[in-house]
């Protein structure tokens, strides 16, 4: 029996998040490589158990510094010497920088990940002048070292051109492999008992759910604003917030100060998203910028009507009125209007959800997408 070649994934953490879940799904479904995952930074690492149950070896560097590039390079070089992978795939900014300085010395291919429109004007508009200067410093280092990567895997077509421009990357170095999900996990999932979300739930309650890092640029100001208006009109309207993040405590505090804030339910990060999504009525995702949001794919596979913002990464898959509803980015009024329209037209919501489901099944099956990604790896090591 032939021994499979080793591939080393390098990632900042295995906390709950889209990039982390995507690495897990790919590593779990590899057929021609044996995966090892290097986890660079100290963190809660909520997906650790999932990796371990799938038999995917994790190596924790345990770096507690904000960057720790020197320590990370040293530990990554030692791991490569020990495990002798034939290829390395790095994800997240800091892990990519570490890999760019560590991997080339071994003469093996290095693959990078394009997972966001990181340096777009939307992100710069949301941060302070000081943060903009930091972003420019990060971009300069990213651009200066970008040539060390042999191939970039982009999760969406719409973010290729901007990143090629920001980082001076030749377009021929890019290949698209979308985020995917395990259909066997999502399709047969049963809805969570709504009483496990709202203990005194009643027939006719409206559950709107979001699932993302709880940070401003995911559209939380707009979601909270829309909730305030809709909660006035619909006395049994609930907003279910799944996930955590930098602004989690701030938005919990904001909810406590709102008239109907007791109807905003914070569930924190969860592994039973298929069950939660199928228990809810509408999925909100009014984000300001994204790569290829895996949470939207999850909503597709769970047949829940999607309301997302008019940004390229959402418009790449969601067509307004055909398989979802598009609202204006940054507009409380637009999100409110579109949500009310879906609430008042349940048959429309069902039709949109059915169409989105079909796209999700056809386009985002992780098993098919992993084969495509493995072929990228195989071409690089031949």
**Per residue in 17-31, pLDDT tens?**
889 999 999 999 999
DSSP 175: E
CATH number at residue 205: 3.40.50.2000
Task: Answer yes or no: do 198 and 337 share one domain.
Answer: yes
Question: What pLDDT was estimated at residue 158?
Answer: 93
pLDDT single digits (tens) 292-350: 889 999 999 999 999 999 999 999 999 999 999 999 999 999 999 999 999 999 999 99
- Domain span at residue 340 reads 184-363
Task: Answer yes or no: do 124 and 227 share one domain.
Answer: no
Task: Answer yes or no: do 35 and 172 share one domain.
Answer: yes
Radius of gyration of the chain (CA): 21
pTM confidence score: 0.92
Residue 1 pLDDT grade (very low, low, confident, very high; cuts 50, 70, 90): very low
Task: Answer yes or no: do 170 and 201 share one domain.
Answer: no
Q: Examine the pLDDT at 2 and tell me if it is beyond 70.
A: no
Task: Answer yes or no: do 169 and 269 share one domain.
Answer: no
Task: Answer yes or no: do 169 and 287 share one domain.
Answer: no
Task: Answer yes or no: do 355 and 371 share one domain.
Answer: no
Task: Answer yes or no: do 299 and 359 share one domain.
Answer: yes
For residues 275-296, average pLDDT: 94
Q: Examine the pLDDT at 103 and tell me if it is beyond 60.
A: yes
Task: Answer yes or no: do 172 and 252 share one domain.
Answer: no
Q: Examine the pLDDT at 291 and tell me if it is beyond 70.
A: yes
- Tokens 């972003």 — which residue? 135
Task: Answer yes or no: do 42 and 145 share one domain.
Answer: yes
Helix locations, 189-247, DSSP H: 220-233
Q: Are 85 and 7 in contact (CB under 8 A)?
A: yes
Task: Answer yes or no: do 161 and 240 share one domain.
Answer: no
Task: Answer yes or no: do 147 and 118 share one domain.
Answer: yes
Candidates 211, 239, 246; CA nearest to 225 is: 239
The total of structural domains in the chain comes to 2
pLDDT single digits (tens) 168-178: 999 999 999 99
The Cα–Cα gap between 143 and 258 comes to 44
């Amino acid at each position: 029996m032939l021994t499979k070649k080793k591939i080393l994934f390098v990632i900042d953490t295995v906390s709950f998040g889209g990039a982390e879940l995507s690495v897990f799904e790919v590593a779990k479904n590899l057929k021609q490589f044996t995966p090892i995952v290097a986890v660079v930074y100290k963190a809660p690492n909520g997906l650790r158990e999932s990796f371990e149950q799938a038999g995917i070896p994790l190596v924790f560097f345990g770096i507690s510094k904000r960057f720790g590039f020197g320590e990370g390079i040293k530990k990554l070089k030692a791991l490569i010497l020990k495990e002798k992978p034939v290829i390395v795939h790095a994800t997240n900014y800091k892990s990519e920088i570490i890999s760019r300085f560590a991997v080339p010395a071994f003469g093996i291919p290095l693959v990078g990940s394009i997972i966001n429109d990181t340096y777009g004007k939307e992100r710069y508009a949301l941060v302070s002048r000081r943060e903009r200067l930091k972003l420019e410093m990060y971009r300069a280092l990213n651009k200066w070292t970008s040539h060390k990567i042999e191939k970039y895997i982009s999760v969406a077509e719409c973010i290729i051109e901007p990143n090629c421009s920001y980082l001076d990357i030749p377009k021929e170095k890019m290949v698209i492999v979308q985020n995917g999900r395990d259909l066997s996990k999502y399709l047969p999932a049963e809805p969570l008992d709504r009483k496990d979300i709202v203990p005194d739930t009643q027939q006719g309650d409206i559950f709107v759910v979001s699932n993302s890092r709880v940070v401003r640029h995911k559209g939380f100001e707009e979601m909270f604003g829309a909730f305030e208006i809709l909660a006035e009109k619909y006395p049994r309207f609930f907003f279910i917030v799944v996930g955590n993040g930098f602004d989690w405590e701030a938005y919990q505090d904001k909810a406590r100060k709102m008239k109907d804030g007791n109807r905003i339910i914070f569930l924190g990060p969860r592994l039973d998203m298929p069950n939660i999504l199928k228990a809810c009525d509408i999925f909100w995702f009014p984000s300001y910028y994204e790569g290829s949001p895996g949470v939207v794919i999850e909503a597709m596979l769970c047949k829940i009507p999607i309301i997302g913002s008019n940004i390229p990464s959402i418009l790449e898959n969601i067509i307004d009125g055909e398989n979802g509803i598009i609202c204006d980015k940054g507009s409380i009024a637009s999100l409110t209007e579109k949500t009310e329209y879906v609430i008042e037209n349940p048959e429309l919501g069902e039709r949109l959800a059915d169409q989105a489901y079909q796209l999700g099944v056809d386009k985002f099956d992780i098993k098919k997408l992993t084969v495509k990604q493995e072929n990228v790896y195989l071409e690089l090591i031949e």
